[in-house]
Structure formats: structure tokens, C-alpha cells
Structure 1
């Protein structure tokens, strides 16, 4: 399935890394701390949206005013993630493909997480050395569903977009792949990799 492509781009959360429960716990603690309702279905629909963007959407959705800035709330969530991540994250079955193509094809990660967090999570999972560039939401002007994240991955790997394939678990990510001119593969359908984030 992946042999025909010159390069592979993995989404991270829910795709290459099983981190659904990590982010569910971190988000739940953060939202409760700032008095924002936890709407599980709505949170799942926002999978792939960067933290600050999610916070802005939630405040508008619930018509809330909070004294903390989105940056302060983001920092709070990131601190929770750092404190509990090692207890929750592990690679998904897609680790097998990253190992299979190591040294054969350029591979990168394009994620809605911020780069430093993504680098740490990949390292905690023992798979950072399998992947080349890691492009986080902080490296692009417009994160998913904009194509910017995946286009930057292709650029850093030195491969034209039409020769890249994107492995994704979210609708926003698959939309971003399509808008980048890349084939997108839904990892649940193709590999039975399920993201248990706010199920």
C-alpha cells in the first residue's frame, strides 16, 4: 500500500502514537481548572486542532469569558502533558511501517501538536530516531485543515507533494492532505488504528 510513494508523512496523535488518553486527561484537567464544560463529542470533533485554537473555539462555543489568556491555558495543559505523558503514550501498530521503511524512504511527522511536545512524545515512545523532520503547529501560519503542515513536511524531505502519502486519523488531517495534493489514508480503515480520544 505504501510502496508506491516516495515519502511518508505520519500524523502523530492517534496515528503513529497512541496518546488519546493522555490528551483526554490533560484536556479534562485543563477545562475543569478554567471552568470550561467538557463536551466529549465536541472535543472529539476538534481532534487535530492545535491547543490555542481549540481553546478559542470552546470559549466561543460556550459563550464564555475567562480571566486567563489562551497562552496561559495552553501552558497549563502542556505542563499536565509533561507530567503524565510517560504513563500514557506508546507507539501504535504503525511503528512497524516506520521501522520497515527506515533508510528506504524519507519519513516525517506533521502534527497539530507543538513541535517541542511532539519531539518529547516521540522520544518517550522510543521512535524519534525512525522519523526525519517533525513539523508542529507552531512552525506554520495555518495549521490543519490548511495544507501548510504537510507541504512543509514535503519541502523538508525534498519530495514533491504528489509523491507523498499522509497517514491520518482525523477528518481535518485528511482534508489537509487532500488540499496539499497528497493521498491521505485513514488509519482506522486501512490499519485498524483507533484513536480513543474522547470516545
Structure 2
């Protein structure tokens, strides 16, 4: 595990640009989404399986809902869009009760105006912008790419490739910080070097741990 005191602009100097995943990586938001999902799934009568939910970390809300409905053969009296809206409304309403920056925010702050930085997230862009603003990192991060800005979100590489495009940096010159398996797959598929923040920084996403 890397010593957090080494989180300076010189960390990983071989890369010209930095891409952070948001939830569970740059931002501690596991309980925000767990709370929102528990309320949503209970409301719509969809079973809660913590292990399955954790495996779907990084998957956009509406796609997660579709997977759960199919997996549990649930007959919904609402559209997936309505499930999505219900959950996202809870996230927006309760955001300030749960989110806070992780130690990686120190790395981001240290690299301000030194290397371009982007967030590539499975969350929707509007939500990500609000969270980053609340956590005081708006003036640090150059670009935010949410699931709604790409044709195929994680585990496809599109999110990270779009980040690289916006930063005008070749994919192989980008380093990605990720906590979720699907995000790690996405970064590798994009041809980028990826750091597993759980292994390197001991950042544990407390999302559906039990």
C-alpha cells in the first residue's frame, strides 16, 4: 500500500494526464448509493442481493435496474425510466448526508494546473458535477464524463477514451484510478495504465458490504 504522504504531483510521473473514477475512488459515496438503492428496490418490490449489487458497482442506474428486473423476474408496474428517476431523486436529496472526498483528492489538488485531469464515471454527468462541486473539487478537475455522454458506459472503454479526447492526450499517456472491476476492465480496454485504488491506497468502497 502506498503511503498517502507521497500523494504529490510527482506521483506516477510517466503519465501526462490523470483520470479518476468518481464513486469509491475520488469520492467516498458508497453509502449514498446503497441507501438510495435500498429505498428504491424496496419501493418497487425488487429483491436486494448485496453481493450482486456490489458486483454491479459502476454500472449506470437504469442498466442496473434492468439487470435486477431480469435476474429476479420482477413484473414492474413502472418503466425503468421511472425507477431511474426515483433513485436519482434520492441521491440528489441525500447527497450532502453521505459524500466526502477520499485521500486521492490530495493527488488531484497537487496536480492542479500541472497535468490535465478528468473524471470518468458510471454516474450521470449532472449528478457527478453536483457531487464534485459539493466536495470542493470543481476548480481542480478539468472535465467530467458521465454515463450519459457516451454510447457505451463501463465496462466499455468509451468513457475513458472520451476523457482522453477532451484532455487532448493519447490514451497510452493517461493513468486511470479505479476501484471497481468493470472500471478496471474499461481502462485496460482503452489502452490505459490503471491503478486499483483498493490495493494501492487502501480505499475501500463501503457499498453493499453486507
Fold shared, TM-score > 0.5 on shorter chain: yes
Work out the CA distance in 2 between the residues paired with 1:125 and 1:3. 26
Per-residue deviation, residues 68-116 of structure 1 (Å, max 9, x unmatched): 1111111111110111100100000000000111110000000000000
Answering whether residue 115 of structure 2 is matched by residue 102 of structure 1, we say no
Per-residue deviation, residues 12-34 of structure 1 (Å, max 9, x unmatched): 00000000000000000000000
Which of 21, 30, 38 lines up with 2:31 in the alignment?
21
Which position in structure 2 is the counterpart of 1:8? 18
TM-score, normalised on structure 2? 0.94
TM-score, normalised on structure 1? 0.99
Which position in structure 1 is the counterpart of 2:7? none
Answering whether residue 136 of structure 2 is matched by residue 126 of structure 1, we say yes
Return structure 1 stretches of 4+ with deviation > 2 angstroms.
Answer: none
Unaligned residue ranges in structure 2 (runs of 5+): 1-10
Segment drifting more, 61-70 vs 140-149: 61-70
Deviation at 1:124, TM superposition (A): 0.9
Please give the residue correspondences for 1:113-192 in structure 2 after superposition, counting only pairs within 5 Å: 113-192=123-202
Which position in structure 2 is the counterpart of 1:40? 50
Which position in structure 1 is the counterpart of 2:91? 81
Which position in structure 1 is the counterpart of 2:3? none
Deviation at 1:161, TM superposition (A): 0.1
Work out the CA distance in 1 between the residues paired with 2:167 and 2:12. 16
Deviation at 1:178, TM superposition (A): 0.5
Aligned length: 199
Deviation at 1:129, TM superposition (A): 1.4
Work out the CA distance in 1 between the residues paired with 2:14 and 2:143. 21
Work out the CA distance in 2 between the residues paired with 1:61 and 1:83. 29
Unaligned residue ranges in structure 1 (runs of 5+): none
Per-residue deviation, residues 158-190 of structure 1 (Å, max 9, x unmatched): 000000011000000000000000011100111
Secondary structure at 2:185 match in 1: helix
Work out the CA distance in 2 between the residues paired with 1:69 and 1:92. 35
Which of 70, 79, 82 lines up with 1:69 in the alignment?
79
